[in-house]
Amino acid sequence: MGLAALGMVSAIGLSAAGCGNDSKAGGDVTLKVVVADYGTPGSANSSKGYWDDLVRAFEADGRHGGVKVDVTVLSWEEVDDKVAEMVKAGEAPDIAQIGAYADYAASDKLYSASELLSIPVHADIIPALAQAGELGRVQYGLPFVSSTRLLFYNKTLFTEAGLDPAKPPKSWDELQSAAEALRTAGVKHPYGLPLGPEEAQAESMMWMLSGGGGYTDNVNTYTLDSNENVKTFTWLRDEFVGKGLTGPDSPGKTNRRQLFEAFAKGEVGMLNGHPTLMQQAAKGKVDFGTAPLPGREGEAGATMGVADWIMGFKQNGNREQIGAFLDFVFSTEQHYSFTDRYDLLPVTTSASEKMLDDKKHKDLWPFLEQLGAAEFYPVSKVSWAATSAEVKKSIGRAVEKGTDPQAVLTSLQRRAETEEAAARARR
């Protein structure tokens, strides 16, 4: 879709995005918007600059009546809690850009995507991401930005270990052999396995997918203790951690941030990473490569995708105005501007095509090419937040010597089922 067409989308947003009697059509309206900061708060790269420019352009457009926009930018450490407090106090923002949407959707606090977005803009969202925003087959969460995961490896360490840096491992056996060579060469962390509380749910999901499993099945039922997942963690315990291929620290006490920093110092041979790691590695002057995640027999059939979400709340009844603003946010020019600034992946087809045409982002192309087939957290399950928290606490035990992975995963499965039943009872 061209920019002119997207401009027309914004212009017609007040009629195409929603026309119910709960909207305050006509008159001056100020939308209250709360968003997360993707830069460093108070610094030159804070997201505040992007939102200031976007709001200025939206209000100057002249086709949105008296709609004004007041944006509050908060750090990721506080934005989810702040929005939750506002909703609980009966002061929900009109729009929130946060980490999860399911609780609010299940409580009937959100407009659906079809109630907000005009048809062309809604159709422009990448289907896999649109589906990830559904609850009960209705989309409430609008993906804001996304990322996927690849295997990162240090080419210099590969060479020193006698490995061909042009041939990264494609299977678990090859991954194990490469890790053994790196260990023999004296690399501190042949393979970085962060199963500590920071983001163990992500590392676990990547391994589950590469082993043919996952958190849920194709009907969104929890399957944490599936045969595939048990085999995966048993292999990790016996063939990786048990053979000293993950470094001196316990994976269950090792966080992603530690290993990303170590990779940037040249102390890690291989690990799973997202686009941000490219910036850290480049600053550390690490010569690195990326490759698809290795799987049990060959390249993994899927990789993990992650999305952050933006949503419209019903409380203030500004459906038409919210829709017009979100149409503008998702226009190719504005959406690409944000992803370009922070080296993130677009969530629309038009902005993705623009990034694939921009050689400046050539390093992002492998991540972007996997997005359409990526698997996402089961964020549509209201129980996922509690389940994810429990995974962070205990999944690391599954790879410890003398621990039964089946028992750890079964315990997580039971907790997940209990949380899911309780969530259903509350709805």
Give 222-261 pLDDT, tens digit per residue: 999 999 999 999 999 999 999 999 999 999 999 998 999 9
Residues 374, 302: contact at Cβ < 8 Å? yes
Residues 6+ apart with CB under 8 A from 54: 328, 329, 334, 337
Residues 32, 96: contact at Cβ < 8 Å? no
Question: Do 340 and 367 belong together in one domain?
Answer: yes
Phi-psi region of 214 (alpha: psi -120 to 50; beta: other; left: phi over 0): left
Q: What is d(CA 223, CA 386) in angstroms, rounded to the nearest whole number?
A: 16
The domain that contains 286 carries what CATH number?
A: 3.40.190.10
Query: 54-77 burial, b for 16+ CB within 10 Å, e for fewer?
Result: bbeebeeeeebeebebebbbbeee
pLDDT, one tens digit per residue, over 259-299 is: 999 999 999 999 999 998 998 999 999 999 999 999 999 99
**Residue 6 pLDDT > 80:** no
Kindly report the average pLDDT of the chain as a whole number: 91
Dihedral angle, C-alpha 399, 403, 407, 412, nearest 10 °: -40
**pLDDT on residue 9:** 32
**Residue 368 pLDDT > 70:** yes
- Is the pTM above the cut of 0.75? yes
Position 340 confidence tier, pLDDT thresholds 50, 70, 90: very high
Selected residue with higher pLDDT from 136 and 110: 110
Question: Do 55 and 115 belong together in one domain?
Answer: yes
Query: What is the token pair recorded at 325?
Result: 């603003």
Residue whose token pair is 């017609």: 12
pLDDT, one tens digit per residue, over 375-392 is: 999 998 989 988 999 999
Question: Do 315 and 296 belong together in one domain?
Answer: no
Question: Do 287 and 414 belong together in one domain?
Answer: yes
Selected residue with higher pLDDT from 163 and 40: 163
Residue whose token pair is 């409430």: 140
**Residue 7 pLDDT > 50:** no
**pLDDT on residue 77:** 83
What is the identity of the amino acid at 44? A
pLDDT, one tens digit per residue, over 387-413 is: 999 999 999 999 999 999 999 999 999
Give one DSSP letter per residue of 93-114, joined into a string.
-SEEEES--HHHHHTT-B--HH
Selected residue with higher pLDDT from 343 and 25: 343
Question: Do 113 and 156 belong together in one domain?
Answer: no
Position 427 confidence tier, pLDDT thresholds 50, 70, 90: low
- Show which of 339, 358, 376 is a domain's final residue: 376
**Residue 328 pLDDT > 90:** yes
- Show which of 342, 361, 376 is a domain's final residue: 376
Query: What is the token pair recorded at 2?
Result: 């061209």
Question: Do 263 and 183 belong together in one domain?
Answer: yes
Residues 279, 260: contact at Cβ < 8 Å? no
What is the identity of the amino acid at 86? M
DSSP label of 398: G
pLDDT, one tens digit per residue, over 66-87 is: 899 999 999 988 999 999 999 9
Domain that holds residue 170: 150-302+381-426
Question: Do 229 and 314 belong together in one domain?
Answer: no
Average pLDDT over residues 51-68: 91
Phi-psi region of 266 (alpha: psi -120 to 50; beta: other; left: phi over 0): left
Question: Do 229 and 125 belong together in one domain?
Answer: no
Q: For residue 203, count other CB atoms closer than 10 A to its CB.
A: 26
Residues 6+ apart with CB under 8 A from 275: 147, 343, 344, 345, 363, 364, 367
Position 348 confidence tier, pLDDT thresholds 50, 70, 90: very high
Query: What is the token pair recorded at 234?
Result: 């048993």
Half-sphere exposure of 20 (CA within 13 A, CB side): 15
Q: What are phi and psi of 293, to 5 degrees?
A: -65, 135
**Residue 15 pLDDT > 90:** no
Residues 290, 151: contact at Cβ < 8 Å? yes
Q: What percent of the chain has pLDDT over 70?
A: 93
CA 85-308-360 angle, 5° bins: 140
**pLDDT on residue 26:** 43
Question: Do 25 and 46 belong together in one domain?
Answer: yes
Helix/strand/coil for 208:
helix
Q: Are strands 95-98 and 67-74 parallel, antiparallel or unpaired?
A: unpaired
**Strand extents, DSSP E, 219-319:** 268-273, 288-291, 304-312
Please state the domain count of the chain. 2
Question: Do 246 and 108 belong together in one domain?
Answer: no
Question: Do 359 and 398 belong together in one domain?
Answer: no
Position 4 confidence tier, pLDDT thresholds 50, 70, 90: very low
Question: Do 130 and 256 belong together in one domain?
Answer: no
